[in-house]
């Protein structure tokens, strides 16, 4: 048998075998590859769907008329007319930015809410025949939730007031019931009974403090219903008006005195008699200049300032007593029963109602709401003299004692003898988007 000799040679390096350790990321890739292979997947590369070709690869063209409407001098800049290269580059970049801004503004012009919506009736149908339940049913859920009623027949009639941002509501019943709440979320902040007659209520500079004109004196409460102050100088006040930009609370008394209270220091600023011989229960402020307008039983409207003890202007509005005054936010139009131009103190238009108007309010869109007994009538374009019929009509369950449009909302608040009603008024909203 032949002899077999095996020769073994050591090929191990002298410094040992170097083993490269696999990092965690490579380990996960290797493990996923094995799993895909065991599951029968041929390729471990995920398959992506090829995107379709964009049918509109470029920005849409803008008409030149729209761009020229937003041009702010880009066409007048000529970089080649500059003497130095530095100024030529500077004005060239400035011209490019102005053109880009004009194009961007013109492209986003579609987002501007320049035209507000209104009710549109069918052929042969009138808008004032549409009821609130029909408007709420055709609206979205958020808008429909703003139409509701609060029944307090044992504490009415009610006076109401909204904050400047339109978020919070203050209710004051004649028999002592006072409540403040977030009317959009229906969250009640406080509710208490002052156990005496409530003449009027008013928010102050924030939603955390409000004033209540009670039987004898003026009281100030916080949003928890805690009494903060009692102003005995404000005696027998029947109407309140707060000037937010001057921090002044104005009160009209039954003895025809007009009083101004500085709420920043809590002291009386001035008080003087109006010499009208009747209670000052009709008071309104001009939002443009903070001048107080008062209505009287002899049909006159007087304008007052705390710097002068005599009336600034006295004009005869009606042969009958004035029961309501309202002024638009621009300070241009005043409405009693006719429409007045406050700038020239002359009557623009007059309208006759079947019955006497008890309350009148004007919205940010210059819609005018009139209270006639237990019925609210809203008129559109009354200041232009083209109104011939009501825009909306709503019947409440009690005699109306107070009206107020909610700022920046399509809502009208109504206080009456049976409680409170929040009704929808499409087209009253003044909110816009500015680009």
| Tens-digit pLDDT profile for residues 298-323 | 889 999 999 998 999 998 888 888 88
C-alpha closest to that of 102 among 138, 77, 139, 137? 77
Look-up of token digits 């920005």: 59
What would the two tokens of residue 414 be? Answer: 């109504």
DSSP secondary structure of 18-62: --PPPPHHHHHHHHHHHHHHHHT-S--SPP-PPPPPPS--SPPP-
Whether pLDDT at 41 is above 60: no
Residue 157, preceding peptide bond in cis (omega within 30° of 0): yes
pTM for the whole thing? 0.72
pLDDT tens, position by position, 217-237: 999 999 999 999 999 988 889
The 3-state DSSP composition of the chain as helix, strand, coil percent (nearest 5) reads: 15, 35, 50
Instruction: Please write the tens of the pLDDT for every residue from 380-433.
Output: 888 877 788 889 999 999 999 999 999 989 999 999 999 999 999 988 765 443
Average pLDDT over residues 133-152: 91
User: HSE (CB half, 13 Å, CA atoms) of 226?
Assistant: 5
Q: What is the pLDDT of residue 433?
A: 33
Q: What is the mean pLDDT of the chain?
A: 84
């Amino acid at each position: 048998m032949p002899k077999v000799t095996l020769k073994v040679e050591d090929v191990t390096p002298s410094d040992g075998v170097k083993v490269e350790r696999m990092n965690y990321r490579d380990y996960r890739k290797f493990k996923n590859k094995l799993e895909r292979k065991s599951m029968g997947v041929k390729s471990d590369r995920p398959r992506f769907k090829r995107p379709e070709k964009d049918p509109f690869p470029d920005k849409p063209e803008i008409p030149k008329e729209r761009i020229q409407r937003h041009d702010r001098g880009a066409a007048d800049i000529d970089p080649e007319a500059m003497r130095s290269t530095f100024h030529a580059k500077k004005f060239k970049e400035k011209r490019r930015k102005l053109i880009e801004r004009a194009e961007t503004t013109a492209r986003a012009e579609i987002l501007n809410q320049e035209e507000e919506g209104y009710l549109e009736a069918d052929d042969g149908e009138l808008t004032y025949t549409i009821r609130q339940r029909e408007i709420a049913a055709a609206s979205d859920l958020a808008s429909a939730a703003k139409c509701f009623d609060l029944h307090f027949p044992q504490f009415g009639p009610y006076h109401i007031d909204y904050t400047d941002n339109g978020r919070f509501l203050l209710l004051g019943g004649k028999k002592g019931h006072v409540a403040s709440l977030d009317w959009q979320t229906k969250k009640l902040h406080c509710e208490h009974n002052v156990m005496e007659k409530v003449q009027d209520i008013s928010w102050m500079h924030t939603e955390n403090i409000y004033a209540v004109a009670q039987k004898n004196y003026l009281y100030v409460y916080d949003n928890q219903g805690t009494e903060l102050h009692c102003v005995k100088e404000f005696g027998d006040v029947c109407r309140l008006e707060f000037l937010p930009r001057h921090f002044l609370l104005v009160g009209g008394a039954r003895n025809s005195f007009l009083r101004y209270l500085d709420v920043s220091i809590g002291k009386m600023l001035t008080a003087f008699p109006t010499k009208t011989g009747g209670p000052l229960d009709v008071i309104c402020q001009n939002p443009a200049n903070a001048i107080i307008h008062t209505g009287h039983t002899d049909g006159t409207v007087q304008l007052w300032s705390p710097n002068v003890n005599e009336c600034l202007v006295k004009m005869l509005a009606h042969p009958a007593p004035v029961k309501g005054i309202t002024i638009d936010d621009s300070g241009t139009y005043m409405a009693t029963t006719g429409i007045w131009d406050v700038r020239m103190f002359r009557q623009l238009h007059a309208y006759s109602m079947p019955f006497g108007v008890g309350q009148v309010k004007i919205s940010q869109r210059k819609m005018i709401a009139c209270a006639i007994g237990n019925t609210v009538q809203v008129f559109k374009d009354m200041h232009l003299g083209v109104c011939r019929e009501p825009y909306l009509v709503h019947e409440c369950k009690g005699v109306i004692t107070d009206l107020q449009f909610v700022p920046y909302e399509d809502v009208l608040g109504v206080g009456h003898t049976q409680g409170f009603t929040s009704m929808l008024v499409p087209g009253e909203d003044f909110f816009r988007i500015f680009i």
